[in-house]
Amino acid sequence: MNSILGFLLFVISLPVFAAFPDKMSFTGDLKTQLTPYLKFSLDVNKKSESLDKARYQGTALFENGKNANVNFTIKSYGQNLLKIYGDLGVYKIKGDGFSKQQIAGETIELEANYYKRDYVCDGPGLDDCRTETTLEDYGKLTLLQKRSPEATTINQMDSIATNEDMFGKLEKLFATGTAATEQSTTGWFSGRCYMVYDRTHPVNALLVGHHKIENSKNPTGKFKVISIQVVYESPDFFDNIADSYRTTISSYINEQFPYMTEARIADNSLVGEFEPGNIQYQIRKSGNLFINKSVVVQNADQYKAGDTYAYCFYSKKIN
């Protein structure tokens, strides 16, 4: 492959999938006409999933010592928007218009309504009876997802990225960083890349440090590193990746293993190359971040050997 576009390593032709996480933890509060203010913590597990929605169950633990069962569904619709609907105890909860980034790292607000159902009879016969529903209480439920330190770092970087020259910021972090090691980079790490031709807009990125996997279990061979992007997907695509994609990515990495050079320490960086992509990865550690300087290996198109094609950061370990 002669083109530097080999850095955008592959396109997966799969159905649109929201990649809902298996587990989530929240802090929150319930404010209604009858309940002025109740704080709680909430852990939920995914119970079922389809292409556009996932159902979660868990228990809300309130500060007053009480608890409530929670069941809700997250459903994707429209242009990458999400809606939430379900139950918290006796309250019906719902809200829509959320992005994945909002649910992952911002406080979201849902309606909370308690409907009382009564069986009312005006006479002795069954035809004289009916169910009446009355709105007894209403208010708001707020939720803030708890984040791991790595995920928080990604959120912090995303929060300063709007219209910022992130390419330049990562260039400075790289300059003061220290060489990453085989031990620290072993695994899968989600992050973002910023291209030299578009220094302010992030694309999804996955740093993989690994040995070849034989029989899906045994690591063998030399240690290598690679950075992967799935085009047409959102910047946070790898943050909460679905199991169906993990299998596809693992297969791809194994197939490309012969075309990656063995990782080595050079110029204060952990260095590896992906030969078909005409890219060299120079990886350093800066605080909780891995910083990758992606450099052109041979002259191609408008790029010369040695040009920096992208700067990337990775933080959240997902495998």
**What pLDDT score does 3 carry?**
36
Closest CA to 318 of 145, 191, 182, 214: 191
CA distances for 279 relative to 232, 261, 312, angstroms: 21, 11, 13
3-class state of residue 79 by DSSP: coil
CA distances for 31 relative to 106, 140, 212, 238, angstroms: 18, 5, 53, 35
Strands 81-88 and 67-77 come out as antiparallel
Question: Residue 195 pLDDT more than 70?
Answer: yes
**What pLDDT score does 282 carry?**
96
**What pLDDT score does 241 carry?**
83
Could you tell me which residue, 174 or 212, shows the higher pLDDT? Answer: 174
**Amino acid (1-letter code) at residue 236:** D
pLDDT digits (tens, 9 = 90+) for 86-101: 999 999 999 998 877 6
Token representation of residue 312: 């990337």
CB contact at 8 A, 42 and 143 = yes
pTM of the model: 0.56
Count of CB atoms within 10 A of residue 195's CB? 19
Give the mean pLDDT of 292-304: 87
**What pLDDT score does 31 carry?**
94
**What pLDDT score does 149 carry?**
67
Residue 73 and residue 86: Cα distance in Å, rounded?
A: 6
pLDDT digits (tens, 9 = 90+) for 280-289: 999 999 988 9
**Matching residue, tokens 């260095």:** 271
Q: What does the domain layout of the chain look like in residue ranges?
A: 23-145, 148-317
Please, where are the H alpha helices in 31-113?
Answer: 100-105
Question: Residue 127 — pLDDT band, cuts 50, 70, 90?
Answer: confident
Question: Residue 46 pLDDT more than 80?
Answer: yes
Residue 182 and residue 6: Cα distance in Å, rounded?
A: 24
Q: In CATH, what number does 23-145 get?
A: 2.40.128
Question: Residue 148 — pLDDT band, cuts 50, 70, 90?
Answer: low
